[in-house]
Chains A and B, each alone.
Chain A
Amino acid sequence: MILRGVVRNLRLGVKDILLHKTRSLLTTLGVVFGVGSVIAMLAVGEGASQDALAEIRKVGSNNIIIQAQKDIDDESSGRQRTRMSIYGLKYEDEARIREMGSAIRRTVPVRLMRRDARVGDRKLELRVVGTVQGWFDLVPRRIVAGRVLRTSDTEQNARVCVLTETGARRLLAGAHILGEKILISRQYFEVVGIVESGTGGRNIAVPDEEVDAYIPMSTQLQLFGEVNARITSGSFEIEKVELHQILVEIDGDELVEPMAKAIEAMLRAFHTRKDYKMNVPLALLRQAEKTKRTFNIVLGSIAGISLLVGGIGIMNIMLASVTERTREIGVRRAIGARRGQIILQFLIETMVLAGSGGLVGVGVGMLIPALITRFSGMPTVVPLYSLFLSFGISVAIGLVFGIYPAVRAARLDPIVALRHE
């Protein structure tokens, strides 16, 4: 019985809206934008978290990456032709971190150089990553061919290298890859394996790059030493860096941030300059949460105000409609409609009106995040549930703001209503 009443009143509500298209549209504008803002809000939040998660997945949420960094003071003072800079992480830093307790599962030292690699007459600039076998545990990438570095490689100062897929393709062009000897700075290395290429991170220091060559760090030190010389635009730069990166794997998500703090405190104590940078991927999630919160406040306020204004607008138009249709209400009551049936009728009409605004709002809501992404580059993802949720909110607005007009309609004295002109 109630269902039939609902369906019937729904139909009448839709009819009424189609009868007054412009009026209905204007009335529901607040709800339209309110609903749109709710969806946009959730889309920005979802986009930020998904983006952060995707980034973190590249690195591993339990990892901390400490990077050597030339500090700014050092950079600006160097106007002379030749500079020697000594900075970065020390072997002792790694040792100290390793000894910080059971929360540290392992550490991986990384030394970086840029060198040309040659095979026959092919030449390619590589990032040569001197590291240990543990790298491949902390930066797990699919093994395309062969193997990764082994502990024995480090022990024997083996002249082996692992290439990334992209590097291998460019340098070797598909010719018998494994076992091929490549020349890196006049030193021969045997290609023992190929791993999937890294893609790099946007907001995060991802350890691997697209064109990397991984060699044992012991071999690297033996062949190239700690000093890196480099000629750039006429000036001669010499760098002495022990470690460019230390990758730290922490035992458990909840320990990542406290341990990052502890490591940073330790580094601060031992370094006179801030020549390192902490990268805590998990902190990205926190950053995403912050972005989300900011947007929630802004868009949430817009949504709240729009919905409130929209609700009041709808209530206003429904009150006008009740007045306009006083006689109709009188007739319905005279025929035998109970007060509850009049309330139901007006409530549903209000909900249909608000819900139609909600439908338009859902469209607007799918558009706003697209515009945000387009103009600010912020990633947005419209979650499916947000469409239903915000539509539900619009109907609920109709319900809440429809109560007063509906009760007013039901309270009318049938005789007075019938006499109404």
Chain B
Amino acid sequence: MTGAGQPGFAGAVIRLEDMAKTYRIGEVDVHALRRVSLTIERGGFWAILGPSGSGKSTLMNLIGCLDRPTSGRYWLDGANVEDLEDDELSAYRLRHLGFVFQSFNLIPQLTVRENIELPMYYRGTPPAESVKRAEHLAELVGLSDRLAHRPVELSGGQCQRVAIARALANDPPVILADEPTGNLDSRTGEQIMEMLCGLHREGRTLILVTHESRVAGYAEKRLWLKDGAVERIEGGAA
């Protein structure tokens, strides 16, 4: 956990080196991301900003081990992950990362309880433990009384709270949120941001993509992307 293989980055939970992602569409290369190098320290709170199409989601997907870079290297929690097998990447997502999406992405046919339990199920947590933790997490996000409900019976804010509870199920050190407030009104968005800030205060690394400078204001560091490259980083040296 201290990055034994990478002595220089003992405090870094995420380290990108010359990460590039290029999509080839017909004859044209689309450079979604151009040689981005980045170190995110353990317990950091980063906001990624930039105009539409600047590569924010592409970067998040790479950090989230959902995508593979065209070139460059990536260390997550001290381990080099860009060459891992698909199953190993799944295991990294399962244990190290929690995702919060703009459109909540709860599974509609499952109840709130089942949605929260899903990551624990994939991890093989014993049912009794999983049930207890799901109840604890539901309480944490203030939805103890909604455990048996289905996502369609919840408001947007409630859905996002379930999604946060689900992201926390396996107690991951890193939370990734791609425009978590994008589908919420500003008051609900603020509640969600408060909740996410709480996770950061607990010591988790939090990375979020946003368009809103008000949301970005919660972060310790702000990274601006432009045309797939880092334009500037605010709030202290990277």
Contact = CB atoms under 8 A, between A and B. Distances in A.
Interface of A: 1, 4-5, 8, 12, 15-16, 19, 327-328, 330-341, 414-415, 418
B57 to A, nearest CB: 9
Interface string B79-121: 0000000110011111101010100011111100000001101
Contact of B86 (A334, A339, A418): A339
Given A12-B109, A339-B87, A1 B67 contact: no
Contacts of A339: 86-87, 90
B183 interface: no
B146 to A, nearest CB: 19
A19 B109 contact: yes
A415 B93 contact: no
Nearest to B104: A331
Nearest to B94: A336
A354 B123 CA distance: 29
Contacts of B170: 336
A338 B119 contact: no
B66 A338 contact: no
Contact of A336 (B61, B90, B106, B127): B90
A1 B130 CA distance: 13
Contacts of A340: 87
Given A1-B124, A414-B66, A415-B61, A336 B105 contact: no
B204 interface: no
Nearest to B61: A415
A4 B106 CA distance: 22
B166 interface: yes
Given A4-B127, A336-B94, A336-B119, A331 B86 contact: no
B69 interface: no
27 contacts: A4-B124, A8-B121, A12-B109, A15-B109, A16-B109, A327-B105, A331-B101, A331-B106, A332-B118, A332-B122, A333-B66, A334-B93, A335-B94, A335-B99, A335-B119, A336-B91, A336-B93, A336-B94, A336-B95, A336-B97, A336-B123, A338-B86, A338-B87, A339-B87, A339-B90, A340-B87, A418-B101
Interface residues of B, number: 30
B109 A333 contact: no
A327 B106 CA distance: 10
A19 B110 CA distance: 12
Contacts of A327: 105
Nearest to B110: A12
B122 A335 contact: yes
A248 to B, nearest CB: 72
Given A4-B127, A339-B86, A334 B109 contact: no
Given A332-B122, A335-B93, 18 more contacts: A4-B121, A4-B124, A328-B108, A331-B106, A334-B66, A335-B94, A335-B99, A335-B118, A336-B94, A336-B170, A337-B90, A338-B87, A338-B122, A339-B87, A414-B66, A415-B66, A418-B101, A418-B105
Interface string B51-74: 000000000010010110000000
Contacts of A334: 64, 66, 93, 99, 105
A334 B101 CA distance: 10
B117 to A, nearest CB: 10
Contact of A333 (B90, B92, B95): B90
Contacts of B93: 334-336
A254 to B, nearest CB: 61
A338 B121 contact: no
A389 B60 CA distance: 51
**Most interface-central of B106, B121, B166, B170 (chain A CB within 10 A):** B121
Contacts of A330: 105
A319 B61 CA distance: 27
Contacts of B91: 336, 338
Contacts of B105: 327, 330-331, 334, 418
Contacts of B86: 338-339
A335 B66 contact: no
A322 to B, nearest CB: 14
B90 A338 contact: yes
A327 B127 CA distance: 26
A326 to B, nearest CB: 12
B62 to A, nearest CB: 10
Contacts of A336: 90-95, 97, 119, 122-123, 170
Pairs A-B, 3 closest by C-beta atoms: A336-B94, A336-B93, A338-B90
A298 B3 CA distance: 70
B56 to A, nearest CB: 14
Contacts of A337: 90, 94, 122
B151 to A, nearest CB: 11
A335 B67 contact: no
A335 B123 CA distance: 10
Contacts of A331: 101, 105-107
A415 B67 contact: yes
